[in-house]
Structure 1
């Protein structure tokens, strides 16, 4: 039987509890909730063992009874901050995967500090693994094998993380660009058209000079997200078609 890493055992309530000594004043849920509150208001930079200890009214060393390090705390936070996945109901596998990916992207945008945490470790806690289970369940009756189902889920979760990171970065960068006089996609495209050398950047330069971004509403419009999502879903559907039995087989 495999020995669980301490942080995983704690997240799943599988850690051996000692009956000796006084009853603990804290628990992992209380510590994690305090850390999430700090991250929500101050960003990830505000989270430290000291700031969390102050929030729950104990000395920093008292936290190490529950989490072995700040990295362990971040791992638990990355799981505890995740909401439940969407219900499937009567949705087809494709419609559910679309709804799942959008919900994944949206909760990451609602808590941007998760963008810096979720890519560091694979899902190991009960909440993130339940999201994974729901995708695999939606693909359960398809022609994909187990490895393909798992890889499809990984590709969609990676896309949600990448798109949320791009949207968040563009929003933050937009404020800085506005301060520099670049107030939208049109201005951005015109700046690129001006600085790009057609000899070095022939394809990109031609696109910008053609006015590609002139009528754009920005990088965050829903059409951009759906374009990439549909590329992935089309690919998954094409793979299913190749796996389907042919007449006469």
Structure 2
């Protein structure tokens, strides 16, 4: 007998699977409206501005009334993280590599437009309807590549992790390096010059050589879009090699 599994209440709400009461007044609100209001507040004031009372005020009800639609603030944050993204781009006839490059950049850019989500995003399997829609489109783009379904999921998960990590780095560079900047270290070039002064070539031979050769002279700021493209191409090159290897293995099997 299969084990009895059910979604947590917050996910039941996300999927619209909560039973609708047959009696009583018709609900004035819904989870989507409440979530949209919470996202507006977070965009304006940061995540610290999001509370059950502030969201209730935004939608014009008492704070206690929100609990009819959302179980807790934690549940609301989960809903915000899922609802934040627009619908993903459609793969259509776009080649898998070009599509996944667009798909990954789009996820990164969404986070950079709403950086507060970095505080609540968890590296866990997606369970909300919007995030699963993005996963579905990535799997669609990889159709016909010869990868099995598990490999396709792993490719999508790896690219999502890269998008989130890069967004976190860019956000930190734009807002979290005050101490370095106060010391006059205002970008990668300055950082490289400082390293050149403190690194002992005997202890750090490879890094010291790279610094003195200009490894950190690529751009004036802390981050550069070329860095994002480099990492993305590195990952997609690996996917391309995996696809080629699976094609070769398939050919050998047929023989």
- What SS does the aligned partner of 2:176 have? helix
1:56 to 1:121, Cα distance in 2 relative to 1, 3 A: farther
Q: 2:197 aligns with which of 181, 194, 198?
A: 194
Aligned position for 1:77: 80
Q: Which residue of 1 aligns with 2:251?
A: 246
Aligned partners of 1:174 and 1:184 also within 8 Å: no
Q: 1:128 and 1:215, CA in 2 relative to 1: closer, same or farther beyond 3 A? A: closer
> Which runs of at least 4 in structure 1 moved beyond 6 Å after TM superposition?
none
Answering whether residue 172 of structure 2 is matched by residue 172 of structure 1, we say no
* Total equivalences in the alignment: 249
Q: Give the drift of 1:111.
A: 0.8
Task: Give the alignment partner of residue 13 of structure 2, picking from 1, 10, 14.
Answer: 10
Is 1:145 the counterpart of 2:133? The answer is: no
Return the offset for 1:179: 3.1
Match of 2:44 among 38, 41, 45: 41
Deviations 1:34-85 (A, max 9, x none): 1101110111122122221222233322211111111111110011111111
Alpha-carbon separation, structure 2, partners of 1:205 and 1:65:
60
TM-aligned CA deviation for residue 188 of structure 1 = 1.5
Which whole-Å deviations, capped at 9, do the CAs of 1:191-235 have from their partners, x for residues lacking one?
Answer: 222233334433323322333223434343221111111111111
Q: Secondary structure at the match of 1:246?
A: helix
Partner in structure 2 of residue 88 of structure 1: 91
TM (norm. structure 1) is: 0.92
The answer on whether the counterparts of 1:32 and 1:73 sit within 8 Å (CA) in structure 2 is: yes
Gaps of 5+ in 1: none
* Alignment pair present for 1:105 and 2:108: yes
Quote how far apart the aligned CAs of 1:120 are: 5.2
**Separation (CA, whole Å) in 2 of partners of 1:184 and 1:219:** 5
